Amino acid sequence: MMKERSSASPSGPPVYHFKTLIPVTGALMLLQGIVEFMRCIIAFRDGKWPQRLHDVQELDQQMLQKAEQGEYQTIKDLEELGQRKGAV
């Protein structure tokens, strides 16, 4: 409402956009906490942790799987180059 601006810069860029993110981030973290609490209740009731979504996986694991399946052209090219030089 006040359209607060920064006094640290001669042009006085607005800072209220960034300050709006503080309560939004807090609400999202509260929501995540509620979901994790519910997950703990389910684990306590069933005796095992519920599975996470299948797409939640470490990126390096996904990349290694794709590389093993030969989906990366760059890796294929490097392997060919190494084989031609006798390194692989």
Q: HEC string of the chain?
A: CCCCECCCCCCCCECHHHHHHHHHHHHHHHHHHHHHHHHHHHHHHHCCCCCCCCCCCCHHHHHHHHHHCCCCHHHHHHHHHHHHHCCC
Residues 58 and 88 in one domain: yes
How many domains, in total, are found in the chain? 2
- Indicate if 47 and 57 belong to the same structural domain: no
State the pTM of this model: 0.50
- Residue 60 and residue 33 in one domain: no
List pLDDT tens digits, range 42-87: 999 999 887 776 656 676 777 777 777 777 666 666 666 666 666 5
Residues 83 and 42 in one domain: no
Are 35 and 8 part of one and the same domain? Answer: yes
pLDDT (0 to 100) of residue 62 = 72
32 lies in the same domain as 58: no
Domain range holding 71? 53-88
Domain shared by 3 and 38, yes or no: yes
